[in-house]
Amino acid sequence: MRFLSILANYLSVVSASTLGKRAPTPGSLSQVTSFGNAPTKAAFYIYVPKKLAASPGIIVAVHYCSGTAQAYFNGSPYKTLAEQYGFIVIYPSSPHSGTCWDVSSKATLSHEGGGDSHTIANMVKWTVTEYKADTSKVFVTGTSSGGMMTNVLAATYPDVFKAGIVYSGVGAGCFASSAGGVAAWNNSCANGQSTATPQKWAQVVFDMYKGYNGTRPKMQVYHGSADATLRPQNYQETMKQWAGVFGYNYDKPESTKSNDPQSGYTRTVYGPSVEGIYAQGVGHSVNIRGADDMKYFGFT
Ligand SMILES: *[C@@H]1O[C@H](CO)[C@@H](O)[C@H](O)[C@H]1NC(C)=O
Ligand SMILES: *[C@@H]1O[C@H](CO)[C@@H](O)[C@H](O)[C@H]1NC(C)=O
């Protein structure tokens, strides 16, 4: 027995250290099992392109509820775009039952708070160091629960991310759980009943990283007018939030353009760092627009 437990310990140490050190294989989705401090069990998958740029950019691509890193890797255009532009893609995978992200606990809604947002930020920091990535090209995007997490990461790690693109999410803190639940569903937010002023929503963001006074990521937000899962009011609330954060007048956008970027979509620009795209007749969720994402992130 004693021998067996020593052997088991030995084997677990060996496998942890060898797996941790094994370099991700370029051109395939690889798991990184050891990346320093991981306060939650969110798994870290990475795609390093075969044609890696010198000082590459990083896109964190966050999956939806019931999704996985593998599913988002297969179902989104980023791996193909990574080969084209040479950036690295991080695909975090949710550890929670149902695989929604934790966008509800106080921990995840706080900078260095010990929640999933913290674990994902540490995936980014590991990648920056390991690949000498360009910290001015670190971006986040996601769909649905991943769109919620995109807003949460932009709010909790404004020092890490330079831009975010949200597909069909809700504003940062809108899913906050009064009971402190981790990865809890929030009906009032999902149903579009959590409404507030731009100032109040902005304060929710400021409170996630108190005292932070540096630059913040620019934000682009897509939402469908026929979204029955995360009601379209969440589009308005998210736009209020980021307009409030940047001090733009939510009631007087800089410009509103119909049929942009495609027929039936309307682009509203609140200021240089905040724009929304409302997709008429589109449900949950809006399809990823890979080529446009590349433009927004500045790869083209
Ligand atoms: C749902 O989120 C709102 C904030 O959008 C919060 O005020 C409310 O307490 C949350 N509901 C539950 C049941 O946690
Ligand atoms: C921003 O915060 C840092 C650290 O607290 C402080 O040293 C600096 O003076 C602040 N800058 C401004 C413009 O408030």
Q: Find out whether 78 and 61 touch, Cβ atoms under 8 Å.
A: yes
Ligand 2: residue whose CA is nearest its atom 6: 213
Ligand 1: residue whose CA is nearest its atom 5: 174
Nearest to 293, CA basis, from 26, 84, 44: 84
Q: What is the pLDDT along the chain (300 residues), one digit of tens a residue?
A: 444 444 444 443 333 344 445 679 999 999 999 999 999 999 999 999 999 999 999 999 999 999 999 999 999 999 999 999 999 999 999 999 999 999 999 999 999 999 999 999 999 999 999 999 999 999 999 999 999 999 999 999 999 999 999 999 999 999 999 999 999 999 999 999 999 999 999 999 999 999 999 999 999 999 999 999 999 999 999 999 999 999 999 999 999 999 999 999 999 999 999 999 999 999 999 999 999 999 999 999
Phi, psi of 224 (to 5 degrees): -95, 140
Q: Find out whether 62 and 92 touch, Cβ atoms under 8 Å.
A: yes
CA distances from 177 to 181, 186, 187, 213, 239 (A): 5, 7, 10, 27, 21
In this prediction the pTM is 0.93
Residue 22's pLDDT is: 61
- Residue 272 tokens read as 């240089």
Nearest to 221, CA basis, from 169, 156, 153, 294: 169
Tokens 């026929």 map to which residue? 226
Beta strands in 48-173 (DSSP E): 58-62, 88-93, 138-143, 163-167
Ligand nearest to the CA of 215: 2
Q: Is omega for the bond preceding 28 within 30 degrees of 0, making it cis? A: no
Separation between Cα atoms, residue 125 and residue 129, nearest integer Å = 6
263 CB less than 6 Å from ligand 2?
no
Phi, psi of 150 (to 5 degrees): -60, -45
Pairing state between β 43-47 and 58-62: unpaired
Domain architecture of the chain: domains with CATH? 35-297 (3.40.50.1820)
Kindly give the distance from the C-alpha atom of residue 188 to the centroid of ligand 1, in angstroms, as a whole number.
Answer: 7
Q: What pLDDT, in 10s, does the model give residues 48-107? A: 999 999 999 999 999 999 999 999 999 999 999 999 999 999 999 999 999 999 999 999
Where does ligand 1 bind, in terms of residues with CB under 6 Å? 174, 176-179, 186, 188-189, 194
Taking the alpha carbons of 25, 29, 33, 38 in that order, is the dihedral positive or negative?
Answer: positive
Nearest to 95, CA basis, from 168, 47, 44: 44
| Ligand 2, atom nearest to 213 Cα | 1
Kindly give the distance from the C-alpha atom of residue 213 to the centroid of ligand 2, in angstroms, as a whole number.
Answer: 6
